[in-house]
Amino acid sequence: MGVSERSIHWFWTSAMLALLNLPLARCSAASVMRVFRLLVGRSGYCFGFPRIALADLFVPGCHRMVEQAGGQLRLEEQVHAVAVEQGRFAGFVLSGGRLLRARAGVLALPPQALAHLARDDPAVASAFPAARPDWFAPSPYVSTLLWLDRKVTSDRFWARVYAPQDLNTDFYDLVNIRGDLAGGPSVIASNAIHVPEAHRLEDAHLVQRTRRELLQFAPRARKARVLHTRVHRIPMAVPCAVPGNESLRPPTASSLPGLFVAGDWTDTGLPFSMESAARSGALAAEAVSDAVGRSLRVALEPPGTTGLIAWLGKRA
């Protein structure tokens, strides 16, 4: 059976939505080629599905490690400005004017928040001279969840090949992933990636379209009754990989000694993603350690290529 040019286009549009959070026609060529290189030059990719919520998986352990190392976790504290003494970072000025001194600091902020801080703080503006309010437009997400009265699939995850009239890109049956739901009726979670108009649609309409698309993969859902629904609108998800973004991604170290930045949008060598966010945190930890005279190496290198693509890279 031949594969049409249209099918190839829809496949790659679907891949770009899933990996770069933007339709293919609007993607950065540099970002597309990075993903293409990884897809073609590597095999054996696997999806990981945590059995508990990510906040429960990571936060308690990280909190304990911070406190065991003598640190503190302060919630509801807002940074008003960056303190500078003798041309280097000296700490953060919190709301109310209190100075929290430190030898090194990390601004783990989305680009829009960093641009807002730079507008009001000359020190941040000088440390990140390229900061602009229009940095890295976010890719809007809509996640629709359906609680059904029966189990409709044994699969954990499936994705849809792109079609212009579609709403959702990927689906999960959480009962096959989460240990606390095991053995119960299906709980379907779906993602609509970069569908700005979905934010203006009523919940009932999104639920109806999601259920219709679910039936295409899980026909058993036709007899299922929807017990409960929930729609989450995420206006500021990961950035869109638009042309020019790659050259704007800042390094971990700013031009102000002792001040660093972290986030999925920084220059991590990875596409905008949770993996990029995690690597940015590791790179920031290394940079802070270096700044205070310690040695720490925790950042994993971006995945390399194997096979023919790796060989061609060595020959180039």
Buried b (16+ CB within 10 A) or exposed e, 13-45: bbbbbbbbbbbbeebbeebbebbeebeebeeee
Same fold, 1-42+78-133+242-316 and 141-234: no
The residue that leads in pLDDT, 280 or 275, is 280
- pLDDT tens-digit map of 203-217: 999 999 999 999 999
Residue ranges with strand state E in the chain: 79-85, 88-94, 99-101, 105-108, 141-148, 157-159, 170-173, 187-193, 226-234, 259-262
CB contact at 8 A, 132 and 250: no
The answer, yes or no, to whether residue 3 has pLDDT greater than 70, is: no
Judged by average pLDDT, the poorest of 77-86, 124-133, 220-229 is 124-133
- Topology given in CATH for the domain delimited by 141-234: Polyamine Oxidase; Chain A, domain 2 (3.90.660)
Number of H helices, E strands in the chain: 9, 10
Q: Domain boundaries in the chain? A: 1-42+78-133+242-316, 141-234
Residues written for the chain: 316
How far apart are alpha carbons 295 and 289 in whole angstroms? 6
**49's tokens:** 């599905």
Residue 17: predicted pLDDT: 56
Q: How confident is the model at residue 221 (pLDDT cuts 50, 70, 90)?
A: very high
CATH code of domain 1-42+78-133+242-316: 3.50.50
Return all residues near 137 (Cβ < 8 A) that are at least 6 apart: 239, 240, 242
Q: Which own/partner contact pairs does 244-249 have at CB distance under 8 Å and 24+ positions apart?
A: 244/28, 245/28, 245/31, 245/136, 246/28, 246/30, 246/31, 248/130, 248/135, 248/136
Residue 7 pLDDT:
44
* The pLDDT of residue 94 is above 70: yes
Note the pLDDT of residue 301.
87
Q: How far apart are CA 37 and CA 313, in angstroms?
A: 10
